Structures are given as C-alpha cells and as structure tokens.
Amino acid sequence: MNGSLVQVRRFDRGSLVEYGRDEGGMLRVRARPAKVGVYPYQSRDGTIHHELTSAETLFDADWLASMAMRPVTLDHPPELVTADNAKKYQIGTTGEIIGRDGDFMTCTILVSDSRAVAAIEGGRLELSCGYTCLLDWTPGTWQGQSYDAIQRQRRGNHVAIVGRGRHGPGARIAMDALDDEAAYQMEDGMKLKLDDGTELDGAEAILAHIKNLDTKVNTATAEVAASKSEASEVRTKLDAKTAELVALQAQKDAGADAVTAARMAGASEARARVALEAQAVAILGDAKGHDGKTDADVRKAIVGKLKPSVSLDGKTDAEVAAIFEVVVADSKDSIEAARRRAALSDKTDKHPSDDPVRRVSSF
C-alpha cells in the first residue's frame, strides 16, 4: 500500500487546559485537543501501526477551519455527527477560532449540557478529536521515531469529552467502518491492569503487551495447525497400515483355504488311488504290477483285460477314465466272481497277507 491514499476516521487524544462556569452554569473551556507527533493506532482488527501527524497537516488552514464551531459530545458517538443526529449527541460546541500553541492545536469550547459539566468537574478532563483524513502509506522517520503512514487532509467532525479507561481510549466505542477504517490514538499516560495484578504504564508498554499476546496467539495457532497436520499424517499412516494388515490377513486366509483344499484334494486322490489299485489286484491279479504306473495306465490295463476289443490309442486321460467306468460297470459280474475266487483261495493260503486277492476284501 506504500504511497496510496486511504480515507479513514480517527479519534485522537487531547486535554482540557482550564475551565470555569458562566452565569448560566455552562462551562467555558480552553483546550489543546491535538498535537504534532508520531502516534500508535489500534484498528478494529487489533493491528497496531504508527501514523505521523506533521505540523504541515495539523496546522493546515483547511483543517483548522473545519474544527471551528464543531459539535462537542460526551464520549464518541457510534456514528459521525450530522444535522440529523446532532440533537441526540451534541452537548456543546467549539469556538470560532482554532489556534496554535507550539506543537499543540488550541481551541475554546462551550459545554452547555449539565451532564457533561458534571463529568468534567468530576475529573473527565480529556478531549478526543473525531475526524476523517487520508492516510499516505509511505513509511519514514520523524525526530527518531518510525512511522508507517502520514496523515493528510484532516477534516473535523466533532470533539468528544472522554475519560481514560484502563483498557485504552475508545474501548467502549464500536464505530461502523463499512467504507473506511476507524482507529483510536494511544498516548503515553494510559494504564492497563492485567488479571495477575501487573499494571502497564504508558502506550508503548501496552502495545508491547498486545504484540506479545499477538505473538503467543500466532504461535499457538501455528502449533494447533501443526498438531492437526501431524495427527492427519498419523491417521493416514494408520489407515494405510490397517489396510495392509487387512490385505495380509486376506492373503493368509486364502492361503489357509488353499492348503485345506489341497489336503482334501490329496486325500480324495489317495482314496481314489487305493480303490483303483484294489480293482487292479482283483482283475489283473498282480499286487505289484501297478506300482509306478499312472492312474491312466492302470485303467488302460484293466480295460484291456476286461474288453480287449476296446482300443484306447490316442485317448486322453479323461476319455480313458470315462471308458474305464463303463467297462467296469459292464463287467461287474465278472469282477464279483473274481473276488469270490480270491476270497476262497484266501481261506487256504498260509500267508494271506501276501495274497493279492486278500487285499481286495475292502473294495
């Protein structure tokens, strides 16, 4: 924003020099409502910056003329004073002559409201100018003090009689700043009492405390954001590990199922082989003749024995198995006769364990 001009509202601090009642009970006041210098301002969003009010700006003829015959209010109203609301807020007026006393702007004030008279006599001795100005966001240094912006083209609206609150000037005021920025000047002499009993004396001490709080808030915000990010990262890793464990468990279950199926298939194949070998012994009469042969070879030998006319040349193992089932079914009576002969022979055999027909007894 350097070099740009922005119209803003401002509420500065000044003081009553002396006052006295007239015959009608009104107060006539000599006041110094503004001074040349660099002042810190706190905006509504809580940010702090410094603005230069130069002698050129403060004693500009147009500015001084704009402060003559201006409404005086008790505290700043929540809006600029106009003809429509002056009756509601005005408790006095500034004089016709606005002057200079060194670095101070001076004026006279007539306070005509009894509440305001009582407030002043009760110790409310500070003034605050309410005005608009253009801010030139060109930083620089004035008498060793750094500033962020220069006030230009100040135009008066009102002068408020205010008290110094512990939370700084304007703490009770909430200006409507839809079209511009409203800020309050913070001066030395302000005091702020903290919850722990510590008392901060002066604008700079209060500003330093505010900046320290801002730093702590920013640090805490960053830490919370980092914690959320870290938690999100941990959650992502945890979800990935969980998915990996689920996948591994699924693979484990699939492997176990495969082993079980293989075992069952192996057992079924073993039982089928035992049955086939029993058939071979009963039909072929050779207990050892099938050793080392495949199931298809054993079936071919049995088919050749039972049905020599059937040719199995060029047949697949599946075709051989199908033909074997048909031939065995057709030769069932012959096979039963062979079993009976084998059983009869077993009764006279001294070594039944060596008789191949004996082994078919469970077929």
- Per-residue pLDDT, averaged over 264-287, amounts to 77
- Per-residue pLDDT, averaged over 205-210, amounts to 66
Percentage of the chain exceeding pLDDT 90: 24
Residue 32 has pLDDT above 60, yes or no: yes
Nearest in space to 295 (alpha carbons), one of 335, 258, 268, 334: 268
Query: How big is the CA angle at 328 (ends 289 and 294), to the nearest 5 degrees?
Result: 35
**pLDDT for the residue 202:** 58
Give the best-scoring range by mean pLDDT among 10-24, 223-237, 336-350.
223-237
Write the DSSP assignment of 57-74 as a string of letters. HHT-HHHHHHTTT-EEEE
Q: Which tokens sit at 139?
A: 């930083």
User: 241 vs 263, which has greater pLDDT?
Assistant: 241
Start-to-end Cα distance in the chain = 104
- Per-residue pLDDT, averaged over 51-73, amounts to 95
Contacts of 66 (CB under 8 A, 6+ apart): 131, 154, 155, 156
Nearest in space to 177 (alpha carbons), one of 76, 70, 73, 39: 76
The number of beta carbons lying within 10 Å of the beta carbon of residue 186 is 24
- Per-residue pLDDT, averaged over 111-132, amounts to 87
Under the banding of pLDDT at 50, 70 and 90, the label for residue 60 is very high
Least confident of 10-14, 180-184, 204-208, 305-309: 180-184
Which residues on adjacent β-strands are paired with residue 273?
Answer: none
170/167 Cα distance (integer angstroms): 9
359/227 Cα distance (integer angstroms): 78
**pLDDT for the residue 169:** 36
- Per-residue pLDDT, averaged over 2-25, amounts to 63
311/228 Cα distance (integer angstroms): 80
| Angle, helix 295-306 to helix 317-330, in steps of 10 degrees | 40
Least confident of 59-68, 73-82, 296-305: 296-305
**pLDDT for the residue 68:** 95
Per the rule left: phi > 0, alpha: psi between -120 and 50, beta: everything else, 189 is left
pTM: predicted TM-score of the whole model, two decimal places: 0.46
Residue 270 has pLDDT above 50, yes or no: yes
**pLDDT for the residue 362:** 36
Q: For the chain, what is the radius of gyration of the CA atoms?
A: 55
User: 178 vs 87, which has greater pLDDT?
Assistant: 87
